């Protein structure tokens, strides 16, 4: 990797460049439900009023997703910001692989099918485990259906599906909208030679889909559910959902408790020796821990009781450096020449920091799905442990602690480039609790005010942006009329998924020396760009010329 070329026209700054990523903060389309606009964002509004600013696209094709109907997410958003170009992402790659048939001609698919057909197990079964929705952030129902249909064509006799209800990237209580048509799909496929059923399930934020080691007990509950089958039994997935909704008023899909489907008092879908498993999520962060439970010989996070001898495959390679999982159906995007790699080659001292919930995004995803550092001497990564409680109970999360360390880093004079992620807008936004989201925004805004003072004192530059929207769109709206959708009690129906809205980009440069347009209006920056332009912009603010094939900088 060659070092970046210095920009001879850049006059330098005393302090570092500070990239602030306000996770899940966008510009709302509707007044009703825009918790960002509804919050007292004194510092963010003041910066917008006096600084050059613009709106950036953070969803759909701007971040490598199949269409502009697809919501952005933190994974692809940080990829785009850190890599400076747009790469086709998981959803698009998987869809193409299925469409062309490449997935089913691949070695991994043939191995999982062959393993089941070999008959080594007592009742050989192909299991599918993953997020059960069409949110297209972690998975898509169409991919699951295509694989089940292909399994039947390939001679598999028995399939069990382990569903993780969403309620986060789709409607918060939409589980049965997926269960009923899927059960009909399985019934139509099933015959005397093919038996396909739902075997177990639960909410994505209660079982299986933990990330960054935040709460391994989630994975433990998932193991007890999908593998051991030792949890509460129901006659059907619909019955489980309806029962939990009755027993726990107000529960949303992502928090639904674990269940297994049983016949005659015996679970119908436990995972046994000789079986095969496909974890059909294409996004990596919430796939690594359950994968470790199946693949790691020295696993010590919880007592597995038994570890079935299975043929395990992930939808994609979730960690390219560690090569996890060992077997995967679709190759991930090949991302090279990231901003982090260029900066390390150019001798730039860097700090990346967030709390546990977004630590991997500001490190692993920002660096192009790469674990570790490009240069141990030049890069520091700091993780502040997240609280293991519902986020609406502590909506400020760890934004103050993150800011404490960033301010110390700014004043230390040790770093040239600091990047941080405030998770509040996304993690609290996903709860659907409007008051908590407003609290999270105002708590974060206080920290922005603290950063402004530190930037002033150090003569630094601050670039404020986001990876996607969420808190800006907290109510469901009728797509045709724009009217707020109401629940039976007349209150707004909460929206817990990401938005399709643009996100902010604000340049705060208190020691501005005339190298670019710096008027407090949108037109002083390049418009119509996506968040992939953040990389070239940061390079320019650091005094470098961006690579020619990087997406255009925001600076004029």
Here the CATH number for the domain that contains residue 183 is 3.40.1450.10
Strands (E), 392-521: 417-422, 461-465, 503-508
| Residue 472 within a domain | yes
Within the chain, which residues score under 70 in pLDDT?
320-321
| Residue 2 within a domain | no
| Residue 169 within a domain | yes
| 118 phi and psi angles, rounded to 5 deg | -65, -20
Q: Under a CB-based contact definition with an 8 Å cutoff, are residues 421 and 384 in contact?
A: no
273 and 183 share a domain? yes
Q: What is the pLDDT of residue 480?
A: 82
| Residue 71 within a domain | yes
CA 196 vs CA 149, 252, 500, 519, 536: distances in Å: 10, 27, 36, 62, 50
Structure token digits, residue 445 = 């805004």
| Residue 415 within a domain | yes
79 and 104 share a domain? no
| Residue 538 within a domain | yes
Q: What is the pLDDT of residue 319?
A: 73
Query: 3-state SS string over 224-238?
Result: HHHHHCCCCEECCHH
307 and 345 share a domain? no
Instruction: Find how far residue 203's CA is from the centre of its chain.
Output: 16
304 and 370 share a domain? no
**Nearby residues of 490 by Cβ (< 8 Å), 6 or more positions away:** none
Query: Which residue, 330, 362, 396, sits at the end of a domain?
Result: 330
Question: Rounded to an integer, what distance in angstroms lies between the CA atom of residue 238 and that of residue 236?
Answer: 5
245 and 299 share a domain? yes
Query: Which residue, 289, 308, 330, sits at the end of a domain?
Result: 330
| Residue 281 within a domain | yes
444 and 479 share a domain? yes
Q: Looking up tokens 């001798």, which residue turns up?
A: 347
Nearest residue to 74 (alpha-carbon basis) of 358, 462, 376: 358
| 475 phi and psi angles, rounded to 5 deg | -120, 145
Q: What is the pLDDT of residue 119?
A: 80
460 and 490 share a domain? yes
What are the residue ranges of helices labelled H in 19-174?
A: 42-50, 74-83, 90-100, 102-105, 107-117, 141-153
How does 316-342 read in b/e, with b if 16+ C-beta sit within 10 Å?
bbbbbeeebbebbbbebbebebbbbbb
Q: What residue numbers bound the domain in which 114 lies?
A: 91-330
Question: Rounded to an integer, what distance in angstroms lies between the CA atom of residue 227 and that of residue 223?
Answer: 5
| Residue 554 within a domain | no
Q: Is the Cα dihedral 43, 45, 49, 54 positive or negative? A: positive
Nearest residue to 144 (alpha-carbon basis) of 115, 164, 124: 164
| 301 phi and psi angles, rounded to 5 deg | -80, -25
**Nearby residues of 31 by Cβ (< 8 Å), 6 or more positions away:** 37
456: domain CATH number is 3.40.720.10
Per DSSP, 257 falls in state: P
Q: Under a CB-based contact definition with an 8 Å cutoff, are residues 283 and 137 in contact?
A: yes
Q: Does 553 participate in catalysis according to the annotation?
A: no
**Nearby residues of 244 by Cβ (< 8 Å), 6 or more positions away:** 251, 256, 257, 259
Q: What is the pLDDT of residue 252?
A: 95
34 and 107 share a domain? no
96 and 58 share a domain? no
Question: Rounded to an integer, what distance in angstroms lies between the CA atom of residue 398 and that of residue 174?
Answer: 31
Number of separate domains in the chain: 2
Structure token digits, residue 465 = 């942006």
Phi-psi map region of 53: left, alpha, beta (phi>0 left; psi -120 to 50 alpha): beta
346 and 312 share a domain? no
Q: Under a CB-based contact definition with an 8 Å cutoff, are residues 391 and 431 in contact?
A: yes
447 and 360 share a domain? yes
Structure token digits, residue 35 = 């918790």
Q: What is the pLDDT of residue 320?
A: 63
Indicate which residue of 39, 67, 74, 200 is catalytic: 74
Q: Looking up tokens 């693949």, which residue turns up?
A: 295
Instruction: Give the predicted TM-score (pTM) of the model.
Output: 0.75
Query: Which residue, 278, 305, 330, sits at the end of a domain?
Result: 330
């Amino acid at each position: 990797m060659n070092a970046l070329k210095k920009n001879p026209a850049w006059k330098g700054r005393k302090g570092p460049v500070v990239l602030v990523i306000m996770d899940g903060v966008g510009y709302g389309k509707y007044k009703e439900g825009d918790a960002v606009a509804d919050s007292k964002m004194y510092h963010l509004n003041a910066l917008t009023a006096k600084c050059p600013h613009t709106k950036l696209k953070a969803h759909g094709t701007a971040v490598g997703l199949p269409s502009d109907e697809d919501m952005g997410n933190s994974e692809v958003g940080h990829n785009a910001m850190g890599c400076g170009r747009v790469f086709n992402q998981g959803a698009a790659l998987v869809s193409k692989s299925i469409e062309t048939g490449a997935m089913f001609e691949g070695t991994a698919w043939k191995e999982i099918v062959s393993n089941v057909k070999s008959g080594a197990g007592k009742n050989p079964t192909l299991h599918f485990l993953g997020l059960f929705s069409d949110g297209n952030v972690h998975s898509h129902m169409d991919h699951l259906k295509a694989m089940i249909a292909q399994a039947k064509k390939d001679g598999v006799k028995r399939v069990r599906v382990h569903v993780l209800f969403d309620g986060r990237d789709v409607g918060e209580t939409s589980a049965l909208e997926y269960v009923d048509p899927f059960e009909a799909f399985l019934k139509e496929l099933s015959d005397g030679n093919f038996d396909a059923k739902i075997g177990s399930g639960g909410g994505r934020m209660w079982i299986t889909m933990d990330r960054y080691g935040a709460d391994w007990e989630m994975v433990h509950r998932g193991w007890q559910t999908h593998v051991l089958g030792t949890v509460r039994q129901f006659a059907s997935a619909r019955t489980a959902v309806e029962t939990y909704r009755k027993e726990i008023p107000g529960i949303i899909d992502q928090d639904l408790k674990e269940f297994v489907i049983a016949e005659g008092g015996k679970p119908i879908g436990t995972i046994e020796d000789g079986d095969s498993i496909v974890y059909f999520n294409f996004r990596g962060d919430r796939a690594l821990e359950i994968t470790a439970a199946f693949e790691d010989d020295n696993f010590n996070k919880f007592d597995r009781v038994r570890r079935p001898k299975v043929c395990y495959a992930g939808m994609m390679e979730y960690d390219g450096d560690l090569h996890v999982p060992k077997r995967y159906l679709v190759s991930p995007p090949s991302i090279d020449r990231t901003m982090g790699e260029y900066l390390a080659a150019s001798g730039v001292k860097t700090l990346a920091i967030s709390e546990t919930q977004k630590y991997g995004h500001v490190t692993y995803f920002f660096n192009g799905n790469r674990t570790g550092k490009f240069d141990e001497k030049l890069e520091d990564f700091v993780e502040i442990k997240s609280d293991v409680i519902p986020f609406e109970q502590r909506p400020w999360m760890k934004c103050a602690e993150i800011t404490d360390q960033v301010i110390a880093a700014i004043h230390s004079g040790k770093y040239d480039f600091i990047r941080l992620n405030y998770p509040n807008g996304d993690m609290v936004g996903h709860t659907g609790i409007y008051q908590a989201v407003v609290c999270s925004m105002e708590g974060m805004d206080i920290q922005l005010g603290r950063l402004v003072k530190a930037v002033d004192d150090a003569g630094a530059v601050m670039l404020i942006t986001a990876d996607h929207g969420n808190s800006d769109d907290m109510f469901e709206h009728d797509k045709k009329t724009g009217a707020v959708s109401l629940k039976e009690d007349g209150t707004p129906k909460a929206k817990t998924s990401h938005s399709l809205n643009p996100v902010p980009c604000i340049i705060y440069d208190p020691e501005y020396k005339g190298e670019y347009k710096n008027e407090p209006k949108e037109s002083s920056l390049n418009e119509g760009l996506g968040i992939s332009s953040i990389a070239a912009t940061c390079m320019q603010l650091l005094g470098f010329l961006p690579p020619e094939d990087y997406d255009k900088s925001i600076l004029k």
